[in-house]
Amino acid sequence: NREWHLLSRPVGWPKAEDFTLVEAPVPTPGEGQVLVRNKYLSVDPYMRGRMSAAKSYAAPFELGKVMQGGAVGEVIASNAEGIEVGDHVLHFFGWREYAALDAKHAVKVGPTSVPAVKVEARDVPLSAFLGVLGMTGLTAYAGLLRTAAFKEGDVVFVSGAAGAVGSEVGQLAKLLGASRVIGSAGSDEKVKLLVEEYGFDAAFNYKNGPVSEQLREAAPDGIDVYFDNVGGDHLEAAIGSLNQGGRIAVCGMISVYNNTEPAPGPRNLARLIQTRGRIEGFLVGDHYDLQPEFVQKVGPWVASGELKYRETVVEGIENTLEAFLGVLRGDNIGKMIVKL
Ligand code: NDP
């Protein structure tokens, strides 16, 4: 049983020396527990925050201890009622090959666990419960519908648009009646994907020129909603293009996660006055009441292929750290998954 430990708190970009892969005994499940052999691990941008000592919404990872994260695996021993050997479960004890955990922290998953999905022709793979139908999917759904108060006819701009959350935000907006959806991403290949496969109306590569100019060109009549995954000059550009009554949902600010000095704020906040604009941050953890509605509504779109998704799959527990760093670098298209 191999598991990843955090050795030291990274300063700036995480380095290989900050982590170690440790050989540990396979844990023995206690009363009310299940033993899970993990099949898919999730690596996510928020994990960078948990590597630092600073208090945030999730407690820092402890030094010298195994890290945590979303995972899906197969139950290979069960001392708990209601979960059988052979069941697949979603849980939060990732970054390791085997996990013993209280059954109350395990959620059964699989095509048959999602009633809305089971009736459709296409099976939904287990890894989808870490991405398009999992935490990142709910983030897209709650942030767009609740925080950004999306309504039909809105012009929507989303950054990080080829990533897990962003690609779902853009497609949900289209499926729910946006009048125009614009995305930004960090490569020409990703931009092509947004327009040709995901049905975005326009997209641009933020590395090809100033975001504000490229956004003005893509949204000549302004934007009503900005779903922010990136922060920095993207946020300033979005404020600059905001229409009357525009809403900005702050989901993430990946452009600053490895900064050692605070980044300057948007210089044009005063525009919120004349536009009566609103900026609001949100955490997916506060919106799990929407989970059933999300799965009922989005599950069939995923199963039917109306909502497309990609995964970037890295194989082997030993490559988990590289996969995580890859997310920060933008190596991924769609959800980054580690397959064991
Ligand atoms: P993604 O799949 O979107 O992967 C991250 C992407 O960020 C990379 O692929 C990269 O794509 C892009 N990126 C990296 N650095 C920069 C930069 N300097 N400027 C612009 N883009 C950059 O990850 P997720 O979908 O899992 O997460 C997206 C965002 O949502 C993150 O900010 C994350 O922290 C946030 N989040 C927030 C939650 C909440 O509850 N509020 C819950 C889940 C996620 P590219 O090639 O385009 O640069």
Which of 50, 254, 337 is the best mutation target for the ligand 1 pocket, counting ligand atoms within 8 Å of the beta carbon and taking the most? 254
- Ligand 1 atom with the smallest distance to the CA of 250 is 41
Closest Cα to atom 13, ligand 1: which residue?
A: 330
Stretch(es) of the chain classified as CATH 3.90.180.10: 2-131+309-339
In this prediction, residues 24-49 reach a mean pLDDT of 97
Ligand 1 contact via 46 beta carbon (within 6 Å): yes
**Token couple for 132:** 């398009």
Ligand 1 contact via 185 beta carbon (within 6 Å): yes
Ligand 1 centre from 158 Cα, in Å? 11
Instruction: Show the beta-strand stretches assigned E in the chain.
Output: 2-6, 19-23, 33-42, 71-78, 88-91, 98-102, 107-109, 155-158, 180-185, 202-205, 223-228, 242-250, 278-281, 311-315, 335-339
Contact between 290 and 146 (Cβ < 8 Å): yes
Ligand 1 centre from 274 Cα, in Å? 30
- Taking the C-alpha atoms of residue 217 and residue 205, their distance in angstroms, rounded to an integer, is 13
Q: Quick one: pLDDT at residue 113?
A: 55
Ligand 1 contact via 327 beta carbon (within 6 Å): yes
Reported as a pLDDT band with limits 50, 70 and 90, residue 114 is: low
Which pTM does this prediction carry?
A: 0.96
Q: Model confidence over 137-194: pLDDT tens digits?
A: 999 999 999 999 999 999 999 999 999 999 999 999 999 999 999 999 999 999 999 9
Closest Cα to atom 31, ligand 1: which residue?
A: 252
- Taking the C-alpha atoms of residue 283 and residue 57, their distance in angstroms, rounded to an integer, is 9
In this prediction, residues 304-313 reach a mean pLDDT of 94
Contact between 114 and 295 (Cβ < 8 Å): yes
Neighbours of 52 (CB within 10 A): 14
Q: Model confidence over 196-220: pLDDT tens digits?
A: 999 999 999 999 999 999 999 999 9
Residues contacting 55, CB < 8 A, separation 6+: none
Ligand 1 contact via 14 beta carbon (within 6 Å): no
Closest Cα to atom 35, ligand 1: which residue?
A: 252
Ligand 1 contact via 117 beta carbon (within 6 Å): no
> Which residues sit opposite 228 in a β-bridge?
250
Ligand 1 contact via 44 beta carbon (within 6 Å): yes
- Ligand 1 atom with the smallest distance to the CA of 232 is 19
Ligand 1 centre from 165 Cα, in Å? 7
- Assess if CATH 3.40.50.720 describes domain 135-285: yes
| ipTM metric | 0.99
Ligand 1 centre from 254 Cα, in Å? 5
- Assess if CATH 3.90.180.10 describes domain 2-131+309-339: yes
Closest Cα to atom 16, ligand 1: which residue?
A: 255
For 33, counting Cβ atoms within 10 Å of its Cβ (0-12 exposed, 13-18 middle, 19+ buried), the class is buried
Is pLDDT above 70 for 106?
Answer: yes
Q: Model confidence over 121-132: pLDDT tens digits?
A: 346 788 999 999
Stretch(es) of the chain classified as CATH 3.40.50.720: 135-285
Q: Quick one: pLDDT at residue 196?
A: 98
For 284, counting Cβ atoms within 10 Å of its Cβ (0-12 exposed, 13-18 middle, 19+ buried), the class is buried
- Ligand 1 atom with the smallest distance to the CA of 44 is 26
Ligand 1 contact via 165 beta carbon (within 6 Å): yes
In this prediction, residues 117-123 reach a mean pLDDT of 46
Ligand 1 contact via 45 beta carbon (within 6 Å): yes
Is pLDDT above 70 for 60?
Answer: yes
Is pLDDT above 90 for 56?
Answer: no
CA 254 and chain centroid, separation: 11
Ligand 1 contact via 132 beta carbon (within 6 Å): no
**Token couple for 295:** 């799965």
